[in-house]
Structure 1
């Protein structure tokens, strides 16, 4: 890939912008992949104005017409699943075997298309009156969706799809580190017949992102990313009192009880921990709490499942583990590992170093596992965002819950047990937005997804996800 990746504004690619472009580096090789045009304040102004105009056109359509166009968009995504998956790999070198967020995008579009022509409001009686009282749900108008580099298509699925179904227009800002799949999605919106500019895609760095969240034409902001950036976004949004929804980081616990199917638990935990996106996901189970009676047996199976995973070219369908996003990330993650070793936060069981040989020029780090980790250490408490997992022992159920909840995060929790009563009991005491029993995180359009504590607020998926993009209006008609 060599051509310049331009912004998408009003259905047209824009390659000449007010700020310097970004040289996109392919993480698997460390070499330039393409050049990405970035948005500054003038381009953000154009995008917001274009989306506002298109949103008025979109809202004026009949509900069944909006529904049909969203179904057409889902069909267009389906026809281009292979291309979108390939662009995902180009974006951040996620193995093509894991690049299934294009399928997720299609599923969410189809699901939320069905909401477009369904009733959204209610009528209620009014105390002491015969008046007619309506409570309606209306779109916000122009919504800004800020996507992280590790999931632009996932955010398009979980945020853009319901925003459109609710009648909004969207300015989608993917990270400059991974904009290619998001830009192609924007083109598919035009090709499917949605109003030009209804979904504008503006890759941007700090300048453009700041202009977007401070823009007076933005009525709501959805941010997915890290806590520090979220604080800056929320602070900037206070200038116009723009409401913000945030899905943030995680330090999720997986609890393996003594009665668990250890082979299944090891395989699922290996995928959900260091292997999935090389640990670069807020959904990762980066802390594994294992019952004392099965600790050694689980560790043997867990390390075996990790060791069986093929590492290499992300375009190879048999590869299950790829690089991290950048050289700076690789150095940061190795620094975390080295400090953990130096300070005795746990016992290194496998991994811990950069991968050399034919992969040396890329940003590959060995899947890394520490055993008997101190839960009060930074290794257990801070989000590493890399292929590093902490193992801990527990003896009693209440100890497992105490350790699992002893974190500032609360996005996911994972429980492995054959005891149905225990599964229900533990799930209700875990401080997490989603609890997955004997399975990995499988986000669906039917289920709400979001965090507790510093993992954010607000939900995607289901009716709750739709309602994040609707504002309430009360209409009362006097009856004499």
Structure 2
């Protein structure tokens, strides 16, 4: 059955949400959006330029005074209402997100609920953010701290999951009392704009949350703007370094959630079918376009052949699917655009040409009904050298690299032998090994014997070149507050 056209029936006319107005005539030009499953253009997207960033910052700074002064209980209730609106409008938001990037319905229909939980959880912190009384003995004084918002926060979100990204970043930033300017990529403007309108419907004052889709020029203007007090960026490590460089001029703090090349370590005593399913999730989930995906599969030598046969059999039964009708895994959608498709296919061809691994299955673009969209067959290379480019580069596509190891020490060494340190997965029934290996891994997040998502109460973030700072839990609130100390002589 042919892939359906883009689900545009709920698509609002694109624009920039600045204050309470949607601007459709902008200085940043336009981007012709293309629906990834069909490769067909949809609508022209107006883009923010420096002029619109200036206007958004000016609007946010005016709104900041009232938002900070608003009673904590009122701000809390606004965020709780927004959480409920996200639930109420989950189907609309899900369809807009499908139009954004072509990921399957089972991903995007869940995302509004996950974002709602993030807003509800962080709303609970609004009236609990305070400070500490500090003992300054033997100095005769009274000393205390105040947890204050930074002010105006610029948030640059990725195209692979805009709904969840807004929940992860904006919920704690708003709960902490900041105003937020969100720059979605030009590739995925639709769901983010609708979330901004829902925030206004929930009672968020105009200017507290603004949505300004744009390309690199808008991102640079936001990062370097002297009226922006902090920036949080989610994306590649290469762009993250440019964000850091841009923030140097004003010495503003930067939070970074960057890429990963996460290891999924399968020990011989693991439930091998369950462990292999974690590997499948790494390529099914957003077609491998996820920073935490365990795309390096480290398998103990004694079960190596058995595991790769389990993976082969399962991968060859992963269907390519129409994202609108893909209501459950394992149907897999396309990658984001033609450029990504060409880049990923280039990696596959290079790996075959250089002999960096043995192609087990996949390695081709979609055919038949999926020939015109940006589909790539789920691809597995085995017998991969951990020092190869296939094992070291973030492919951001449905490509697995399977690597053999002999013992626990080698597994940890191989897992840590990468510039990234975002996530890791450990598959074993040995509880003592769980604790040893989890402590030894250079990763900000370790999941053992399963993965059910990133809970809103836990700190999430990376080490090494996977980023700085944490989102989630009290750590997420602290990411967007700074302490002020008050000392009073007695």
Q: Would the TM-score normalized by the shorter structure come out above 0.5?
A: yes
What is the aligned counterpart of 2:272 among 262, 265, 276? 262
Whether contact under 8 Å (2:263, 2:415) holds in the other structure is: yes
Q: Deviations over 1:40-64 (max 9, x none)?
A: 0111111111112222111111111
Find the counterpart in structure 2 of residue 81 from structure 1: 90
Which segment is superposed worse, 324-333 or 53-62? 53-62
Find the counterpart in structure 1 of residue 454 from structure 2: 443
What is the aligned counterpart of 1:469 among 480, 483, 490? 480
Q: SS state of the match for residue 249, structure 2?
A: coil
Q: Deviations over 1:241-286 (max 9, x none)?
A: 1111101000000000101111111112201x21110001111111
Asked if residue 352 in structure 1 is aligned to residue 363 in structure 2, the reply is yes
Q: Deviations over 1:105-132 (max 9, x none)?
A: 1011010000000142001121322211
- Separation in structure 2 between the aligned mates of residue 359 and residue 428 of structure 1, nearest angstrom: 44
- Separation in structure 1 between the aligned mates of residue 333 and residue 103 of structure 2, nearest angstrom: 6
Find the counterpart in structure 2 of residue 392 from structure 1: 403
Whether contact under 8 Å (2:318, 2:378) holds in the other structure is: no
Asked if residue 158 in structure 1 is aligned to residue 168 in structure 2, the reply is yes
Asked if residue 15 in structure 1 is aligned to residue 24 in structure 2, the reply is yes
Check 1:221–1:119 CA distance in 2 against 1; reply closer, same or farther (3 A cut).
Answer: closer
Aligned-residue offset at 1:22: 0.7
Aligned-residue offset at 1:441: 5.9
Whether contact under 8 Å (2:361, 2:381) holds in the other structure is: yes
Find the counterpart in structure 2 of residue 311 from structure 1: 320
- Separation in structure 2 between the aligned mates of residue 332 and residue 162 of structure 1, nearest angstrom: 35
Whether contact under 8 Å (1:7, 1:37) holds in the other structure is: yes
Matches within 5 A, 1:54-69: 54-69=63-78
Whether contact under 8 Å (2:25, 2:46) holds in the other structure is: yes
Find the counterpart in structure 2 of residue 433 from structure 1: 444
- Separation in structure 2 between the aligned mates of residue 3 and residue 405 of structure 1, nearest angstrom: 45
What is the aligned counterpart of 1:244 among 237, 254, 275? 254
Q: Deviations over 1:71-105 (max 9, x none)?
A: 11111111011111111111100101122221211
Q: Deviations over 1:170-204 (max 9, x none)?
A: 00000000111111110011000110111000001
Find the counterpart in structure 2 of residue 376 from structure 1: 387
Q: Which runs of 5+ in 1 are unaligned?
A: none
Find the counterpart in structure 1 of residue 420 from structure 2: 409
Q: SS state of the match for residue 194, structure 2?
A: helix
Matches within 5 A, 1:329-340: 329-340=340-351
- Separation in structure 2 between the aligned mates of residue 460 and residue 215 of structure 1, nearest angstrom: 23
Kindly report the root-mean-square deviation, in angstroms, between the aligned alpha carbons of the 2 structures. Answer: 1.1
Find the counterpart in structure 1 of residue 204 from structure 2: 194
Which segment is superposed worse, 43-52 or 218-227? 43-52
- Separation in structure 1 between the aligned mates of residue 225 and residue 386 of structure 2, nearest angstrom: 42
Asked if residue 295 in structure 1 is aligned to residue 304 in structure 2, the reply is yes
Asked if residue 149 in structure 1 is aligned to residue 159 in structure 2, the reply is yes
Asked if residue 218 in structure 1 is aligned to residue 231 in structure 2, the reply is no
What is the aligned counterpart of 2:191 among 181, 186, 197? 181
- Separation in structure 1 between the aligned mates of residue 225 and residue 291 of structure 2, nearest angstrom: 28
Check 1:86–1:3 CA distance in 2 against 1; reply closer, same or farther (3 A cut).
Answer: closer
Q: Which runs of 5+ in 2 are unaligned?
A: 1-7
Q: SS state of the match for residue 380, structure 2?
A: strand
- TM norm structure 1: 0.98
Find the counterpart in structure 1 of residue 180 from structure 2: 170
Whether contact under 8 Å (1:3, 1:35) holds in the other structure is: no
Check 1:209–1:119 CA distance in 2 against 1; reply closer, same or farther (3 A cut).
Answer: closer
- Separation in structure 1 between the aligned mates of residue 358 and residue 79 of structure 2, nearest angstrom: 51
- TM norm structure 2: 0.96
Whether contact under 8 Å (2:180, 2:208) holds in the other structure is: yes
Find the counterpart in structure 1 of residue 218 from structure 2: 208
Q: SS state of the match for residue 145, structure 1?
A: strand
Q: Deviations over 1:333-367 (max 9, x none)?
A: 00100010011101000001111111111000110
- Separation in structure 2 between the aligned mates of residue 63 and residue 259 of structure 1, nearest angstrom: 51
Check 1:303–1:394 CA distance in 2 against 1; reply closer, same or farther (3 A cut).
Answer: same
Asked if residue 421 in structure 1 is aligned to residue 432 in structure 2, the reply is yes
Matches within 5 A, 1:90-129: 90-99=99-108, 100-129=110-139
Asked if residue 274 in structure 1 is aligned to residue 278 in structure 2, the reply is no
Q: SS state of the match for residue 24, structure 1?
A: strand
- Separation in structure 1 between the aligned mates of residue 257 and residue 12 of structure 2, nearest angstrom: 33
What is the aligned counterpart of 1:5 among 10, 14, 33? 14
